[in-house]
Amino acid sequence: MSRDAGAPPRDEAELAREICLRQLALRPRTRAELAAELAKRGISAEVSAEVLDRYDEVGIVDDAAFARAWVSSRHAGRGLARRALATELRRRGVDGEVASEALGELDEETEAETARVLVERKLRTARGEPDAVFRRLVGMLARKGYPPGVAIRAVKDALAAQSAEAAEFADRIDADALADAEGDLDRESRPLD
């Protein structure tokens, strides 16, 4: 359906609302994601702010609800830890305080249990020497955002339950010392502010 050539130009606010609704029909979006899309489409900052403020008021755009749903979904579906989830929320433009509140709903015990489940699932198909399996599994958890202590303990416990050889290897692992060493390396590799 094409517009008549003699029709008046469309109202910028109407166009902005239409763009937002089309974006939201695809998947939930944060205010920052919608603002970026509006800017990309040439909508002025003033009109964008006006439309997004109205959508905030009526609850169409709710970054706090988005963050809670994102944390729940990505933790359950992908097994991501708080650190990885915080990075994803930051990339989507969720305010740090809003993200912290949503991440607070994911407690350390739940995170540790998820790490154990992930390790047990991967361990069923893991092949190789216990030390190589240990490194691969700790690396997998690290990529998902798990702190070194949680990752090392989860893998050590799973290896100890797997076989006599793996249990012997696991007994030699000092999880606390390794976690402390990993934490020191982590702090050293961070850029200075």
Do 102 and 28 share a structural domain? yes
What pLDDT is recorded for position 19? Answer: 95
Do 113 and 81 share a structural domain? no
Quick one: average pLDDT of 55-59? 93
Q: What is the pLDDT of residues 67-98, one digit of tens each?
A: 999 999 999 999 999 999 999 999 999 999 99
- Among 73, 106, 139, give the residue marking a domain's end: 106
Are 157 and 175 in contact by the 8 Å Cβ rule? The answer is no
Q: Which of 40-54, 58-72, 106-120, 124-138 has the lowest mean pLDDT?
A: 124-138
Question: 167 or 4, which is more confident?
Answer: 167
* Residue ranges making up the domain that contains 183: 108-189
Q: Is 120 exposed, middle or buried (0-12, 13-18, 19+ CB in 10 A)?
A: middle
Place of tokens 């305080």: 97
- For residue 130, pLDDT over 70 is answered with yes
Are 154 and 112 in contact by the 8 Å Cβ rule? The answer is yes
- Calculate what percentage of the chain has a pLDDT beyond 90: 64
pTM for the predicted model, two decimal places: 0.77
The answer to whether residue 69 sits within a structural domain is yes
Do 183 and 143 share a structural domain? yes
Specify the 3-state DSSP secondary structure of 19: helix
pLDDT band at 181; cut points 50, 70, 90: low
What pLDDT is recorded for position 159? Answer: 84
User: What total of structural domains would you count in the chain?
Assistant: 2
Are 144 and 118 in contact by the 8 Å Cβ rule? The answer is yes
What pLDDT is recorded for position 185? Answer: 45
